[in-house]
Structure 1
Amino acid sequence: MSDKPQTPLLDRVKTPADMKGMSDAELTQLAHELRLETVYAVSETGGHLGAGLGVVELTVAIHAVFAAPKDRLIWDVSHQCYPHKIITGRRDQMRTIRQKDGLSGFTKRSESPYDPFGAAHSSTSISAALGMAVARDLGGAPEHGIGDCIAVIGDGSISAGMAYEAMNNAGHLGKRMIVILNDNEMSIAPPTGAMSSYLSRLYAGAPFQEFKAAAKGAVSLLPPPFQEGARRAKELLKAATVGGTLFEELGFSYVGPIDGHDMEQLLAVLRTVKSRADGPVLIHAITKKGKGYAPAENAADGGHATAKFDFVTGKQKKSPSNAPSYTSVFGKALVDHAAEDSKIVAVTAAMPDGTGLKLMAERYPSRTFDVGIAEQHAVTFAAGLAAGGMKPFCAIYSTFLQRGYDQVVHDVALQRLPVRFPIDRAGLVGADGATHAGSFDIAFMANLPGMVVMAAADEAELVHMTATAVAHDDGPIAFRYPRGEGVGVEMPEKGQILEIGKSRLIQNGNRVALLSFGTRLSEVMKAAENLAAKGITPTVVDARFAKPLDEDAILNLARNHEALITIEEGAIGGFGSHVAQLLAENGVFDKGLKYRSMVLPDIFIDQASPSDMYAAAAMNAPQIETKVLETLGIADIATRRA
């Protein structure tokens, strides 16, 4: 690790107000220092890097021109908020980011007044900014006041339907607000100094309508590589009306495209918009993800997320894996089945790597569909594929599947279409915290008629559940699995098709039965071992299915044990609730069974290591052991035995 970079200008910035007296040249230098500080900080902690590097100049320019926190700056998704955090009073805390009791990796209202709206899911910024603009005009916050409302949204996020719904409403209402489209997919080259200065003067000196026209007409004046990006932007944004753009048809004044890394242009455009805009404005800025740090620029994902790395070389410092990740196990299993069955297709919503479908896309590109950040469309598209005779696997993170729930209900479950839902990131996920936790899918999937819901206890079980999903054609089926590595079990050569609704007995015991659903099974076994040393040998069962339940097995456990405890990595209303309903309907509680359900607590659990998060949720082996003893009424087993 090299010495910390020198940042004399940045050292003077404690809040954005400290930037107000800086010259444009100093702001350009400040952006350079902010980029160095961002890279250095993330090299020590890991986290999201590329998105923040792409908006360094934009971050400095916005805070130099506007007056946060009165002016409300809303970052869509907010992967890109690290530079923003550094210059809004949180620089000294950056080494705690994404760690227990540390800064969030996203914007968070409770963390700072400079974060007016929390984020981590995409495409929410325009809706939120519009709501704040309307609140401003209605006098909703007179004690603080609301000034300009600025949403910064990426080209990926603006592909989602919610962004267009918000823009349609904003154009109709006509409220003054600013949307900055951070477009990091277009071609861009460093602009020549004279041309860049000319464009900046052109933008700054014209009346607003002429300013917009000049911004659009300046494409021919740009250097050739930049012209190509602008032409592609123009093609992308054309509406059905000749000569108009989609944004203008929605009621926005469109300015762009401009170079999002040229401080002179950015300052000129933002100052002009601030002083002259009287309705909704969209500024189209072309940027480069990972800008200014070669290892990030050269990475396929622009350095999106990284472990700790060497500041100079960019080489990541990852711990060696002891077992394959659940995500990779699913991806490989699906490709193996796709090789034998041409009807298997895969759908992802902008997460081919994260869901394990990258391998499928490489092997069978014509059968793999990345629909962009559009979970609602992904689900109904998969329903259409199923209705057309294909076998779709609609792979979406648990936390993102929430956004497609109406489609799961109406377009899949109601029509009993055989869509397969591999649900990655089930349970608590660690550094991404509450926004990415997969806490609710058991409850919201298992309450749907005809839905089969499975959870893998380990990576071998995931292989079997993938095979089971391939074979299942009687309605929809979902199987959930966590982020991270498996537990290191021996892997099967080929997945076995499981009998729907049947559990598996792990060990026989007495007095208490532990019924586990999902990967807490390894912690259940640790607890069982500790209990055995104290004279209590629990029966342990891997439920495999939350729906349909293995009713015969569960009722048998209830009849033959003093106590029954369910354990699941999900919120109340899931597996344990279904078991309780079964027991109640069969009068088991009338016979004195002691029943307990271990679920995630009714709170949003902040970021920490997964182990610490599960400790906070009271779902690790020691808490499971304690729950058994409490249920059996053994406050102090040592005293009791004496």
Structure 2
Amino acid sequence: MAETRPATPLLDRVHSPSDLKGLSDRELHQLADELRAETISAVSVTGGHLGAGLGVVELTVALHAVFDTPRDKLIWDVSHQCYPHKILTGRRDRIRTLRMEGGLSGFTKRSESPFDPFGAAHSSTSISAALGFAMAADLGGDPGDGIAVIGDGSMSAGMAFEAMNNAGALKKRLFVVLNDNEMSIAPPVGALSSYLSRLYAETPVQDLKEVAKGFVSLLPSALQEGAKRAKDMLKGMAIGGTLFEALGFTYIGPIDGHDLDQLLPILRTLKARATGPVLIHVLTKKGKGYGPAENSPDRGHARAKFDVITGEQKKTPSNAPSYTKVFAESLIREAERDDKIVGITAAMPDGTGLDLFARHFPRRTFDVGIAEQHAVTFAAGLAAGGMKPFCALYSTFLQRGYDQVVHDVAIQRLPVRFAIDRAGLVGADGATHAGSFDIGFLANLPGMVVMAAADEAELRHMVATAVAHDEGPIAFRFPRGEGMGVELPADGTPLQIGKGRILREGARVAILSFGTRMAEVLKAAESLSARGLAPTVADARFAKPLDRDLILRLCREHEALICVEEGAVGGFGSHVAQLLADEGVFDRGFKFRSMVLPDTFIDQASPEAMYSIAGMDAPQIEAKVLNVLGIASIPQRA
């Protein structure tokens, strides 16, 4: 069924934010409605982060209508909320290529448009970057204001407060828009917020704090006490005005982020009059204006393609469970027998499977917010206190807690269990979310055990292995998506630390795989066997400690060894090469090759296409075997 696109007569006239300058406020209301319809239509075709973008439609229109982008630097944090922004900034003709190979990124991207001054696919970076732009302008660099739009979840990370502390001390003109889409008090303070907004818009910015303090006396006496309580509640919240003002910011809000009649006059006033750092607190709703997104548990966070009318997602059915689900179910089984097991995640309970764990063990599940550094050290404290913490993070997010992994976990040899989801290339989210580096940065640490599952059954065994390992930190990695469809054991069995396994016996060449490239290795082995060159295939299981006996045996019994891993240079293959060099294996002319991710960031595509680009699919593994043996080609047997 062909896509039916919404009628957007006003949006059709907008090719750049400069086109918004000639529109009346009434027309900007219509433009917001059309922009919301276009966003829903586009994401129904491409899939992607729907709810976040729908929540900032009016805010996007207001910011571009008031400020002078790209001269003014507008930074979205996290930038999965940027789809409406992309539509307004000259990319509407490509919006239905979102997250596809060769298409638009699902996040802001400097190389894509001058309207994307800073990429922000991870959270809590926007205020630091906007302050950098503000200081650069002050020092003679690019002119324009720095504007950070940061979600309330992103504001939970320490980096955001580090930046605000610095910005308050520098006292430079800077705009921080706190997009608060989870405040339960938004409906009851709507009228009060609207009243405050009118006062703010009519007052010089340096007097805004005094207006906020004194507005209660202007209300009818019957309303004064209730209004004062509401304002005190807002100003006294942990993320409310008092804290921000203590950091040196002028606090404006709360403002209804879906009401252009509030947003436009306030932003115009601030643009004209602000002299120092300002925080504008807007209240929004994820998925605003689209029922299926508003009513979903995650407010339409990350969706597959869907039917616009019903909201039903068009997911390809699979007989194999996802690796994430296998991890969660395995951890639940172990936790039923061991009450010391606890789960920790950093604002990704659904993505890591800990939402399933939490249903069974709510008191033993901790979502610490977008705060990976804290998550790691919190886990270290739990381990030191006698618990068995499983710190479940995406590989790309674990990077943010690396100092804590080294200083707080590894040096103290604390038995923190790291469950590393999204290992390897992840598809539509692209380079920012690829789990490329964890093998290298973990396997370099003394005393760290690093495992990778070849399939979902191995993952179940690795969860059991992590539970049983109390001698120090241990990590196991697994990819996004469905498993191989292998039979799952009812319970995991702890593996012997540092021992791999032989899956196929062959001759001349051995392929040693670490992780789920094993499926491609086995395809390559089948093809080679059909040509009369059957390789030995082994599953390393461990990158640290290496299975020295297995590796040296493979070297003794074969002409060549090829290592395959879903990680960057400096990981598993590098450790194997170091072992072979130390043992003098290369002195006798032994041939060794390591297949790793290339030394480049690979843009979004399907995972299959990304691994083909990386040179790590079955045909390229087969070609590597032939090359290392000096064989041009071998004809297929009849």
Q: TM-score range by the shorter chain?
A: over 0.9
Matched, 1:620 2:620: no
Corresponding residue for 1:529?
Answer: 526
The 2-side partners of 1:346 and 1:625 are apart by 41
Matched, 1:631 2:632: no
Corresponding residue for 1:446?
Answer: 443
Q: Is contact 1:186-1:230 (8 Å) kept?
A: no
Give the structure-1-normalised TM-score: 0.95
The 1-side partners of 2:255 and 2:520 are apart by 54
2:79 corresponds to which letter in structure 1?
Answer: S
Q: In 2 relative to 1, CA 512–280 (structure 1 residues): closer, same or farther, beyond 3 Å?
A: same
Match of 2:381 among 380, 384, 389: 384
Corresponding residue for 2:434?
Answer: 437
SS of residue matched to 1:516: strand
SS of residue matched to 1:47: coil
1:28 corresponds to which letter in structure 2?
Answer: H
Q: In 2 relative to 1, CA 261–324 (structure 1 residues): closer, same or farther, beyond 3 Å?
A: same
Corresponding residue for 1:585?
Answer: 582
Corresponding residue for 2:412?
Answer: 415
Q: In 2 relative to 1, CA 504–62 (structure 1 residues): closer, same or farther, beyond 3 Å?
A: same
Corresponding residue for 2:89?
Answer: 88
CA RMSD of aligned residues (A): 2.2
Matched, 1:353 2:350: yes
Corresponding residue for 1:53?
Answer: 54
Matched, 1:9 2:6: no
Corresponding residue for 1:166?
Answer: 163
Q: In 2 relative to 1, CA 441–79 (structure 1 residues): closer, same or farther, beyond 3 Å?
A: same
Q: Is contact 1:344-1:367 (8 Å) kept?
A: yes
Q: Is contact 1:501-1:545 (8 Å) kept?
A: yes
Q: In 2 relative to 1, CA 437–193 (structure 1 residues): closer, same or farther, beyond 3 Å?
A: closer
SS of residue matched to 2:71: coil
Matched, 1:475 2:472: yes
SS of residue matched to 1:306: coil
The 2-side partners of 1:271 and 1:612 are apart by 47
Quote how far apart the aligned CAs of 1:216 are: 6.2
Quote how far apart the aligned CAs of 1:5 are: 1.3
SS of residue matched to 1:485: coil
Quote how far apart the aligned CAs of 1:208 are: 1.6
Corresponding residue for 2:372?
Answer: 375
Q: Is contact 1:188-1:229 (8 Å) kept?
A: no
1:26-45 equivalent positions in 2, closer than 5 A: 26-45=27-46
Q: In 2 relative to 1, CA 137–59 (structure 1 residues): closer, same or farther, beyond 3 Å?
A: same
Corresponding residue for 1:552?
Answer: 549
Give the structure-2-normalised TM-score: 0.96
1:10-159 equivalent positions in 2, closer than 5 A: 10-141=11-142, 146-159=143-156
The 2-side partners of 1:166 and 1:226 are apart by 32
Unaligned ranges ≥5, structure 1: none
Quote how far apart the aligned CAs of 1:183 are: 0.3
Quote how far apart the aligned CAs of 1:202 are: 2.0
Q: Is contact 1:178-1:281 (8 Å) kept?
A: yes
Quote how far apart the aligned CAs of 1:623 are: 0.3
Q: Is contact 1:517-1:544 (8 Å) kept?
A: yes
Match of 1:569 among 566, 571, 595: 566
Q: In 2 relative to 1, CA 389–194 (structure 1 residues): closer, same or farther, beyond 3 Å?
A: closer
Q: Is contact 1:7-1:33 (8 Å) kept?
A: yes
Q: In 2 relative to 1, CA 228–586 (structure 1 residues): closer, same or farther, beyond 3 Å?
A: farther
Per-residue displacement from partner, 1:543-590 (whole Å, max 9, x unpaired)? 000000000110010011001000000000000000000000000001
The 2-side partners of 1:337 and 1:605 are apart by 37
SS of residue matched to 1:261: coil
Match of 2:258 among 245, 254, 261: 261
Quote how far apart the aligned CAs of 1:3 are: 3.0
1:139-218 equivalent positions in 2, closer than 5 A: 139-141=140-142, 146-187=143-184, 198-215=195-212
Per-residue displacement from partner, 1:490-513 (whole Å, max 9, x unpaired)? 000110110000001101000000
Q: Is contact 2:513-2:563 (8 Å) kept?
A: yes
The 1-side partners of 2:478 and 2:236 are apart by 41
Q: Is contact 2:193-2:254 (8 Å) kept?
A: no
The 2-side partners of 1:194 and 1:562 are apart by 78
Quote how far apart the aligned CAs of 1:229 are: 8.4
Quote how far apart the aligned CAs of 1:227 are: 10
The 2-side partners of 1:572 and 1:120 are apart by 23
1:84 corresponds to which letter in structure 2?
Answer: H
Corresponding residue for 1:602?
Answer: 599
Per-residue displacement from partner, 1:3-34 (whole Å, max 9, x unpaired)? 32111111110000001011111111111111
Q: Is contact 1:398-1:438 (8 Å) kept?
A: yes
2:182 corresponds to which letter in structure 1?
Answer: E
Corresponding residue for 1:338?
Answer: 335
Corresponding residue for 1:497?
Answer: 494
Quote how far apart the aligned CAs of 1:591 are: 1.1
Corresponding residue for 1:235?
Answer: 236
Q: Is contact 1:187-1:229 (8 Å) kept?
A: no
Quote how far apart the aligned CAs of 1:231 are: 6.3
SS of residue matched to 2:537: strand
The 2-side partners of 1:196 and 1:161 are apart by 28
Moved more, 102-111 or 28-37: 28-37
Q: Is contact 1:105-1:432 (8 Å) kept?
A: yes
Unaligned ranges ≥5, structure 2: none
The 2-side partners of 1:456 and 1:231 are apart by 53
The 2-side partners of 1:447 and 1:226 are apart by 58
Quote how far apart the aligned CAs of 1:237 are: 3.7
Match of 1:309 among 303, 306, 311: 306
Q: In 2 relative to 1, CA 216–579 (structure 1 residues): closer, same or farther, beyond 3 Å?
A: farther
